[in-house]
Chain A
Amino acid sequence: MPDEETRETKDEGLQTAKVVSRREFLKYAGIAGAAVAVSGGLGGVLAACGDDEPTTTTAGPDVTEGPTTTAGTGPTDAPTTTVQAGPEPPAQDTIRIGAARPISGANAIFEEAHFGPAYKLWVEDVNAAGGVDVAGKKMPVEMIVYDDQSDMDQSMRLITKLIEEDKVDFLFSPCSTAFQFAAAGVANAHNFLLLSSEGGATTLENEMKKGSLPLYFQLLNYSNHVQMPVFAELCAELGVKTVSICYIDDLHGIEYQAQAQIELAGRDIEVLSNVPVPPGIKDVTTIVKQWQSEAADMICSFQYPPENILTISTLMQLNYNPKGILVGPGGPTQAVYDIWQGAADQYFFEGAWTYEQSPEVKAYYEKLAAFVGGPANVDFWGSLIYKAQMELFQQAIERAASLDHQKIAEVLRTEHFKTLMSDDTFFTNQLLDASSYSGQIGQWQNGVPHVVDPGPKRTAEPIYPKIPWGSFTVS
């Protein structure tokens, strides 16, 4: 656990030096001495008994912490007995977690309906169960949450304050890709673990390959990880020959259109047009008319919720019915789907999970929907990933039996976990492995979100061509 003696040092890996105080040294030395005495005594007794016992190890978790002493070795054939002391529980009684979250400002919806509900529900649940089990000690969670006002400067300053002044034990990530990337640097500079699932981009992979962010773990799927490869595979399966694209002119849109072009070209699918759209655009009539003239099989709208809503509405107004349309952020949200009361049924979306994938997932969906004020605020892209993030976080602490960030990170890097999203959830190169997701591409079918990825994760057959606008309405 970072303490007041943790200092920031500059190097390529943003590593942190840690100094052990005299008091800590004496404490560890005392524990080590006691363990040596106990294990030495036990070893002596066992060796004296001379039984052909196999090597025995006391104490629970696989992760070793604390002194380990091997006794009974020597020139004789006496059995080797290893007595390993259990991990020492932390001296503190609670785990303090800090977060700079967008309680106000442009990103406030994420705190209200995305990662916000996930961590709040987790805190409720974990405290109701007595807390996180750290080396046999139940430690309730305390949250310190500041409003970063959706402002980068505020966010970075507050994260620094949480670490250096409030001395929290862990951080939860801020919201959006750019904030996450920036927070990853601050967190790593302080030797703090950071799991993030409210953004993600290809550019981060290069930084992780360099090893400059060793304590950062990325959970949300994104363009080349592996939504666009799956989408291209789906298009090939459906017989799509041509695609028209519009994309928001920022990191999200630029990366998605680039990856889509690469993946579609690899499947011999032609991209007829690829139009950038400025954030906050108020009229996409020209773009839709261009699409009408192109008559592509599939439309890709790599935009944000307001622009995606505008695009679908304009498609309806101009009565242009493409055979299929893929909708980016906002598309997986029930609230956006409900705007047209089902009239836009059967659009594809980036995601994806469904409450129909298992009874446990359905139970969580209902709980989440109740927590966020109704099903309209549930997101069928990230909500299950946020839940998995909390499960991974707790399980990693419990397996590490420690609040030490390096040890927890090592568990996350090397072990596999069971989460609500997948029975085998794990990281590969600090990215959540592609196999761990419930799905990549979804489709609304009669008001129900479904995973339509090619392969075993599919929960319903994709419908293509889609029905004309307004053919289905929710009563």
Chain B
Amino acid sequence: MLVIFVLLAILPTVNHGYTVTLFADILRYATLTVAWVIFSGPTGYMSLATSAFYGLGFYIAAVANGPLPFAAAIIISGIAGFAIAVFVGALTLRLRGVYFCIFTFALTLLVQNVVMEIERLVTQTRGRFVVNETAEAAYYAMFVVFLFTMVMAIMIRRSRYGLALQSIGEHEEAAAHSGINVVRSKVLVFGASAVPMAMAGAIIATRRTYIDPGIAFNLNTTFLPVLMALFGGMGNLVGPVIGAAVFTYIGEILLTRFPDLYMLIFGAVLILAIVFMPNGIVGLAQMAWNKMRGGRRAPA
């Protein structure tokens, strides 16, 4: 694992080309997927608010990057993402199941429409230009945010909040009766998961030159991390990262080499993955490993 991180850290020094852009994209999706798994993985609450926080980061970068340093724009985005997630979470995390899912989806639309109204009434235009950063700067920023997300995910999993979320996911009433402050645990972790989402948005916005609400709050950003998490497996934190990396790379290969068959192959792969890999790639790998170990032991 350390070797992979070191290779990722030195990538821009050995490759100035498209690989940096591709890996920045993989890191972006890995960050979003792990951030989504931090909250939705253990609790089973299906959050569809990813693009709300991601888009918020886009707009904060559009306003703050330039007048403020790049790093400051990213940090402000993270703080804003946390604040809004906590505020919204405090109001709504008493909702459960499909109601929570629909609410988070509506949240994305709500934030998008608030931004659109502000633009229509205040700036009287649509969209904004963003001060650009180089591919290398964006890559390193994304790499740091990815590391931050992984560390945060591990720390939460190992903390009492992680155990609380596991309990909530298994039986929320039982968790409440055992003394867990259910709402506070959910709100705080929901807020924490929004931090890297907003930071990722702030970084990627600086590679877009121009953004508008349709671009910033693109619903693909909500759904792709969910699919990536399912594809990689949510049993541990390696699964979402592998899911994001494989998903992004397969998409890239199919789109550029088999454009006519892209959707057909992609759809087929997804269906097969969900039917035959209910625990994702990592789950399949673990099953295969266990079988191999079992197979070796049997003759002995």
Contact = CB atoms under 8 A, between A and B. Distances in A.
Contacts, number: 101
B208 A182 contact: yes
A160 B24 CA distance: 12
B124 A153 contact: no
A151 B218 contact: yes
State which size class the interface on B falls in.
35 or more
A179 to B, nearest CB: 9
20 contacts: A149-B255, A151-B218, A152-B208, A153-B25, A153-B218, A156-B208, A158-B255, A158-B256, A160-B18, A161-B256, A164-B21, A178-B210, A178-B212, A182-B215, A185-B208, A185-B210, A186-B209, A250-B214, A251-B126, A255-B125
Contacts of A178: 127, 210-212, 214-215
B116 A249 contact: yes
Interface stretch (B1-9, B40-48, B131-139, B283-291): B131-139
A157 B22 contact: yes
A245 B259 CA distance: 42
A254 B16 contact: no
Given A151-B220, A152-B208, A254-B126, A160 B134 contact: no
B207 A156 contact: yes
Contacts of A153: 25, 204, 218, 220
B255 A154 contact: yes
A203 B208 contact: no
A165 interface: yes
Nearest to A162: B18
A95 interface: no
A276 B120 CA distance: 9
A182 B210 contact: yes
B210 A8 contact: no
Contacts of B212: 178, 250-251
B126 A182 contact: no
A285 to B, nearest CB: 23
B218 A157 contact: no
A71 interface: no
A154 B224 CA distance: 13
B17 A164 contact: yes
User: SS class of chain A's interface: helix, strand, loop or mixed?
Assistant: helix
Given A146-B259, A165-B19, A251-B127, 16 more contacts: A8-B16, A146-B256, A147-B255, A152-B218, A153-B220, A157-B21, A157-B22, A160-B135, A178-B215, A181-B127, A182-B215, A184-B210, A249-B116, A250-B214, A251-B126, A254-B126
A203 B209 CA distance: 13
B204 to A, nearest CB: 8
B276 interface: no
Interface string B157-168: 000000000000
State which size class the interface on A falls in.
35 or more
A7 interface: yes
Contacts of B215: 152, 178, 182
Interface of A: 4, 7-10, 14, 103-104, 146-147, 149, 151-154, 156-158, 160-161, 163-165, 178, 181-186, 189, 203, 207, 249-251, 254-255, 258, 276
Nearest to A163: B18
Contacts of B125: 203, 251, 254-255
B249 interface: no
Contact of A165 (B17, B25, B119, B259): B17
Interface string B218-247: 101000000000000000000000000000
A147 B209 contact: no
Contact of A147 (B22, B137, B204, B259): B259
B148 interface: no
A189 B132 contact: yes
Nearest to A9: B134
Q: Which 8 pairs show the lowest CB-CB distances between chains A and B?
A: A185-B209, A181-B210, A251-B126, A165-B18, A164-B18, A164-B17, A10-B134, A152-B215
Interface string B187-209: 00000000000000000100111
Given A8-B135, A181-B210, A147 B262 contact: yes
Contact of B137 (A7, A10, A149, A276): A10
Contacts of A163: 18
B87 interface: no
Contacts of A165: 17-19
A203 B212 CA distance: 12
A146 B209 contact: no
Instruction: Pick the most buried of A147, A154, A157, A163: most chain B CB atoms within 10 A of its CB.
Output: A157
Contacts of A146: 255-256, 259
